[in-house]
Structure 1
Amino acid sequence: MGQDEWDTLPQAEKAFMINGSEHDILPGVWGDLPASTRAAPLSEVAAILLSLVDRGWLEVRRVEPWTAPDGRVGSGPGDLVPREQLPVVLADPREWEYPADPSRWAGALTLVETDAGRRISHRSAE
């Protein structure tokens, strides 16, 4: 996809794609969404994300603890949330909120850009 095609993506889709490229947790997308999308019912916002999943551009995963080879502890994308579970999972407003304790991101939803998604957003190594 060329720059012209990227430029034609709606701003809300771009926001989810950027969130996925950053491996941010799902609530991080709110700050990038246009005001009209932030004001929409959660089901409509979730439908935007589901359309990107269905195109194979993003995956939805759960954050899990991770230890680097040097022993530093952190977190990263863990298990994939199966597509058939996503409508129910994304209907839960708590999934779209930051954890009360920022050190407790384990289990939160995170978006991960796929190889196909990186080609769309021009983040491939090609």
Structure 2
Amino acid sequence: MRLVGLRDSVVIEVWDASGESPSLKDPDDDAETGRGLHLVQQLATHWGSYGTMGAKAVWAELPVYSVEPTPLPKRRKSGRSAAGPRPVRGPDADLLRLVLAELHTLQYATDLFDIDPRATPAGASAVNGTDS
């Protein structure tokens, strides 16, 4: 797995031992696999894949948004004691949780198949019709 930080985006690149090109699947409701590229397609501005020595690499570029801080609303005092501040949630926090979970999964797969992420030949080809 490789992460590359750009000015307004992050590129995530992962490898697996399959030489098959990635394709969108239509999984059954009970299926435990087959939804990854649907997530990539919804979240990424560009994505693609290329072959690497009998395997493949898939990359996706995710936009990074700068959010200006806004003041918190004033709370009315109540007689109850507060349990502490609630975590800030938003699309970016959810996206980061999703990316972190997928990165852990991909790191497991990389370790399982003993794939060297540094061994990546040039020549990426776009899958979704965009070149980047």
Common fold by TM > 0.5 = no
Larger radius of gyration: 2
Provide TM-score, normalisation by structure 2: 0.24
Provide TM-score, normalisation by structure 1: 0.25
- Greater helix proportion: 1
- Greater strand proportion: 2
Higher relative contact order (CA 8 A, sep 6+): 1
